[in-house]
Amino acid sequence: MSWQHSRRNFLKTSAAMAGAGVLAACGSVSTTQSGKPSGQAKPVPPKRTSGRGDTTLRVVAPSGFADNTERTQTGLTRLYNAGFTITNQEAAFRRYQRFAGSDAERIADFQDVATGRAPTPKVLMGLRGGYGAIRLLPHIDFDRLGGRMRERGTLFFGFSDVCAVQLALLAKGNMPSFAGPMIYSGFGKAVPSTYTMDAFIRGSTHSENTVSVYNIQRRSVNAEGTLWGGNLSVLASLVGSPYMPDIQDGILFLEDVGEQPYRIERMLQTLHLAGILSKQQAIVFGDFRMGNTRDVYDSSYDFSSVVNTVARVAKVPVLTGFPFGHISNKVTFPLGAHAKIRSESNGGYSVAFSGYPTLDAGSLTLDTLLPQISPDPIDILEDNVLE
């Protein structure tokens, strides 16, 4: 497939490939908002013979449905062309109400692996964020799921609402996962971010990976421990539940989107009152997509004010600017693995990760994920709202 196609031509080419049999039709059908079958079979990649390493990728869709079938198919096609054998593809096309399938269907994405009804894949990859993952947590055997994933060395990619499952997996299954792009909101872009795709390749295939942050920090921080966390709204919703990890002397990573400063602080205060923040060696903020967002009652109260308040009340070092969140350009990094934070002479800091499962790059063609053309401005705008 030529990467010189325009966005429209790329999608036409993808559809043509599907019709020509590169993407074989699946016998499963999607559901409408009412939960009734739509009657339309979805084209999906066929199974391929295993190479030197395990390349199986199982689609999991615990949250919102994907409202653009063409974009979903683009994501699956791109991952197939990168060498993955994609399973459970029907999950990418399901819809029930606002969710990517009924609760039972979305539970089965994980529980079938936990019980052995489905083979344990090398990769679990979320479809997209939204809402709905928290409804599934009591019905998934995370202890067994984590055990099977450890045995296989499974990598689980997701963020936003999907991190509810990732947090529960860490809390009850003692299994790390990855913050990274997902099928719809990352790989499904007409022209994905070169930065994001390159970071995905490096972050998933190297046993050690260092992320450098050049934003000047207010203080020097040297910390070492388990880096964990995810979406702030999701973490706040899990406080007091058995699905919140209990990490002592860890490094807490947080990101969110679409929240006013006071709401961000309120959720952070919830984590503080629960004793979670004071247990950490440091707190690392990703991108909150704040822009010029100010408190509607006090325009001087901004994200910087929140950072200052949290550092003061929790008495924990706070770092900002980590390149991850609901943004086009983001790194891929493990959640629940070992990390070392070191301040740099330029005023920024670096985070070195180790102790996590990796992909066998020799069994895949991951370079095909790198686009050869720059994204159109309209693509960047859409990518910022469709995570």
Contacts with 81 (C-beta within 8 Å, 6 or more apart), sequence order:
1, 365, 368
Kindly report the number of other CB atoms within 10 A of residue 64's CB atom: 21
The contacts of residue 332 (CB under 8 Å, 6+ apart) are 157, 178, 179, 180, 181, 196, 199, 200, 202, 203, 204
How many CB atoms within 10 Å of residue 248? 9
- Active-site annotation holder among 259, 326, 328, 387: 326
Q: Is residue 326 among the annotated active site residues?
A: yes
Dihedral sign, CA of 305, 310, 312, 313?
A: positive
- What is the end-to-end Cα distance of the chain in Å, rounded? 25
List Cβ neighbours of 308 (8 Å cut-off, separation of 6 or more): none
Output the CA torsion sign for 263, 264, 268, 271: positive
Residue 138 is classified by DSSP as G
* Three-state secondary-structure class, residue 124: strand
Catalytic annotation present for 255: yes
**Beta carbons of 267 and 229 less than 8 angstroms apart:** no
Contact 337, 204 (CB under 8 A): no
Of 160, 177, 193, 328, which is the active-site residue?
Answer: 160
- Helix 261-273 to helix 303-314 angle, to the nearest 10 degrees? 10
Q: Give the SS3 label for residue 149.
A: helix
Q: What Cα–Cα distance (Å) separates residue 269 from each residue in 101, 199, 240, 312, 333? A: 34, 32, 14, 12, 26
- The three-state secondary structure class of 277 is helix
CA dihedral 271, 276, 278, 281 (to 10 degrees): -120
Whether residue 5 lies in the annotated active site: no
CA 317 to chain centre: 25
CA-CA distance, 71 to 59, in Å (whole number)? 15
Of 30, 90, 177, 255, the catalytic one is 255
Q: State the catalytic residues.
A: 160, 255, 326
